[in-house]
Amino acid sequence: MSLFSLEPVSTTCPYCRSSIELVVDASMAEQRYVDDCPACHRAMNVHAMVTADEIPSVEVFHLREA
């Protein structure tokens, strides 16, 4: 098991509704950070969670909702 494993996760941009892919560090159980949508380049809050099976999932929010 690596200490640093980046996993792509598909989600939907809260602004433009594009289907986007974010890369999550699966070595952390939970993290919050700000990332830019690769489609519309607006900043969004990302809440990433990784299960015990190291399967990451993300929730994305408008910046103002955090």
Question: Which chain residues interact with Zn ion by CB under 5 A?
Answer: 13, 15-16, 37, 39-40
Q: How far is the CB of 35 from Zn ion (least distance, A)?
A: 11
> Is the CB of 29 or the CB of 39 nearer to Zn ion?
39
Rounded CA-CA distance 14/18 in Å is 8
Name the residue nearer to Zn ion (CB basis): 28 or 43: 43
Closest distance of CB 32 from Zn ion, Å: 19
Which residues contact residue 63 at a Cβ distance below 8 angstroms, ignoring those fewer than 6 apart? 34, 43, 44, 45
